[in-house]
Each structure stands twice: as C-alpha cells, then as structure tokens.
Amino acid sequence: MPQHSQPTIACEDPTSHTRPHCDAECGLVYRDAPDTQWCSACGQHYGYWKRGDRLTGLPDRWDWEASALTAFRQTRTNHDVLALLIIDLDQFKQINDEFGHLAGDTVLRGLASELRQSIPDHGLLGRYGDDEFLALLPHTGQNIALDVAQRTRDGVETMHVTASMTPGGAPVHVPRHTASIRITCYSPHRHWELADLLLDADTALREAKRSGGNSVCLARRGPRHTQTNFP
C-alpha cells in the first residue's frame, strides 16, 4: 500500500464537508482535512475509485485495460519485460450456493484486499469479471512473477472471511478459499499485443479449472507447459 506523509481523509471531493467513508468501501471514518488529497483507507488520491468496481474498490475491466495498455506500450517502446497474472477464485459458485450471494460479495472483497497485499506496489490490479482478477506487473520477468503468484495463492488459501447468513445472525466462517493463477510474460522478442497476453493467460486458466484448480502455472503457447498443483 502506498505510504504518504500528507494528512489523510476518505475518498471524497476535498471541497465537500461530508465524507462518511472511503469510496473503496473500506467502511472506515476519517477526520475532515480539506487540504489533503490522500485517503488513509486505501492510500489513493480522492476520487481514485469512482469509476471502478464498486464492490471491491479495484478498477473495473475497462479502467484496468486503459491503464494496462499504456503500461504495455511503454514496455514495448523501452524493450522491457512485463508479466500478466489472471487470478480466479476456485469453486466460487459453491460459496454463493451454500452461504448466499452477500457472503460471496464479502469473499470477493476479501480477495481484493489480499491481492493489494500480495501484488507489488507497481502492479496494476483490476477486476476482470465475477471472480476473476488481473494483475499487470511492469519490469517483471518470469521468475519474479512466479514468486508473486505463489505468494498470492498462499495468501488466498489462508484468508479468514466471516459473513452473516441470516438477518441479525451471528457471522459464520466461510471456508475453502483457493485460487488458480495463470501467468503470461512479455519480452521484446515476442511480437504480441496486450490482447494476446490476455488470451494466452485466459486459455491456460480454463485448462486449470478443468484440472481442479488451486495451482500456479506459467502459460505458454505450444507444447511446453509447467504447472504446480497443491493438494
């Protein structure tokens, strides 16, 4: 999470005197400080999340794609490397069916929070749709991307999420969180576009879901395919 020395407020217009909570839906209240531009809940400047995904506080697919495309073009111009991670929460439909959709929403917010902790500060996070998330990592090669993905998978598996299943009911633990993560890497010798990276990772992710999930894999076009599965 970015650290700033300025006074902090919630993500609202700094000219407003009503700032009930962060636009990232952290649910936290902060003192009025009209001379600042940073939120102590999410570490971003005010209004950062206004066009993003309201459930998780992350950029939605289209906002992510706009930022990712800029980063990708800079990478290609500089003959640099980058990595793309696509993260999918395993068996998410079962969570909705067993605990309810509001509990599922809580799990998705928990996953977004975990991703903020696991993905490096320079990474571009976004919600791809439903239970899938994206992380673009500029200046990142294959080995570091694998380390980030393993750390993310471990963090998801240890998430502790509670949710109420009935009005006024006591919160219950929502168990069994695992994720499938697929990585695709760009290097200068690959004449790819951002869409090619997305397609490569998404194709490998579909294969992972059929094989049971809870794994980290480097997606590659062609017969070479390295995968680590976890019991």
Nearest to 2 by CA among 87, 79, 117, 102: 117
| Catalytic choice (60, 88, 90, 131) | 131
Strands (E), 114-225: 124-129, 132-138, 161-163, 172-174, 179-186, 215-218
Q: Indicate if 105 belongs to the active site.
A: no
Residue 97: helix, strand or coil by DSSP?
helix
Sequence-distant contacts of 195-201: CB under 8 A, at least 24 apart: 197/72, 197/84, 198/84, 198/86, 198/134, 201/84, 201/85, 201/86
Looking at the DSSP assignment, which residues form a beta bridge with residue 229? 215
Whether 29 contacts 41, CB under 8 Å: no
Identify residue 49 by its one-letter amino acid code. Answer: W
In the DSSP assignment, the letter for residue 212 is: T
- DSSP state at residue 45: B
Residues serving a catalytic function are: 131
